Amino acid sequence: MLQFILKRLGLAILVAFTVSFISFSLLFLSGDPAAALAGETASGEDVEALRRLYGFDRPMLVQYGDWLFSALQGDFGESYYFRLPVASLIADRLSVTMILGVCGITFALLTAVPLGVVAAIRPNSIIDRIALFISVAGQAMPSFWFGLILIVVFAIQLGWLPPSGTATWRHFILPTIVLGYYAMPAIMRLTRAGMLDVLSSDYIRTARAKGANETRVMFRHALRNAIIPVVSLAAVQMGFMLGGSIVVESIFALHGAGYLAWESIARNDLPTVQALILIFSMFYIVFTFLADVLNAWLDPRMRTS
């Protein structure tokens, strides 16, 4: 197990460096950053001056090394637009996104997994149909529309919850539901499919033949095996959610990292965009790594591969 973890960790670090290099170079491929920064009316000399000021005249590998070295120390440079250190700018916004992301995925898992299990225990029952309806609706409904409906109903008509902002925990309830509902259908359907598959397997029959009761059969024998693909999916979705949802953050005026990313791209704020891409990629890598470890713990067959 330890060997497996170390192996996966090594792999994750390798992937992290590769991703950082690709994301760094992609931004250079999108055009001359100095020209973009200087604006349309700038003279050739101004562009040249900017190029030297920001060091764009150096070879790309040198710039990458320089950037990476600072980034590893937590220094992502200064935002061109906000004129603030990128690190503190992101840290500020990231906390909002992280709260939202963690709440969103928790909400999704807490609703999707039990619903998927119940649907699998009684396939084609009324509960299964309701679960299917909920998941189809979640899949089909655009987040911005669902978010607006929630605001209209719960914030404006009923006045139970605030429509926007981040002041209290109550402000996070509606965005959590919207973001969680977006991730829920896939998790639910995968849980249901996994449970159905496992419940028809021979070792479930063995468990029953031993005299295990249904609760034990479902949770100890079936769910542990059925949840394995769900862990991988949830990890990817968690990575996605921590990357910030531009749509959800915009509707509820949560100024999180997703919103910041959108702003920075629009304003060509290179250091901020680079830092965000790096951080979002790291989330994916970390969660994929954690999912691998969790899966290896759940399924001993994965430890050897």
Residues in contact with other proteins by the rule CB under 8 A: 201-203, 205-213, 221, 224-225, 298-301
Residue (157 or 304) nearer to other proteins, CB: 304
Q: Shortest Cβ distance from residue 128 to other proteins (Å)?
A: 15
Q: Are 105 and 238 in contact (CB under 8 A)?
A: yes
Q: Which amino acid, one-letter code, is at 292?
A: D
Q: Shortest Cβ distance from residue 186 to other proteins (Å)?
A: 23
Q: CA 178 to CA 142: how far, in whole Å?
A: 10
Residue (40 or 202) nearer to other proteins, CB: 202
Q: CA 279 to CA 261: how far, in whole Å?
A: 11
Number of other CB atoms surrounding residue 20 within 10 Å: 20
Q: Which amino acid, one-letter code, is at 67?
A: W
**Residue carrying structure tokens 């919207």:** 178
Residue (186 or 207) nearer to other proteins, CB: 207
Q: Shortest Cβ distance from residue 173 to other proteins (Å)?
A: 36
Residue (176 or 225) nearer to other proteins, CB: 225
Q: Are 216 and 207 in contact (CB under 8 A)?
A: yes
Q: Shortest Cβ distance from residue 214 to other proteins (Å)?
A: 8
Q: Shortest Cβ distance from residue 187 to other proteins (Å)?
A: 20
Residue (128 or 269) nearer to other proteins, CB: 128
Q: Are 6 and 272 in contact (CB under 8 A)?
A: no
Which phi and psi (to 5°) does residue 226 adopt?
A: -75, -25
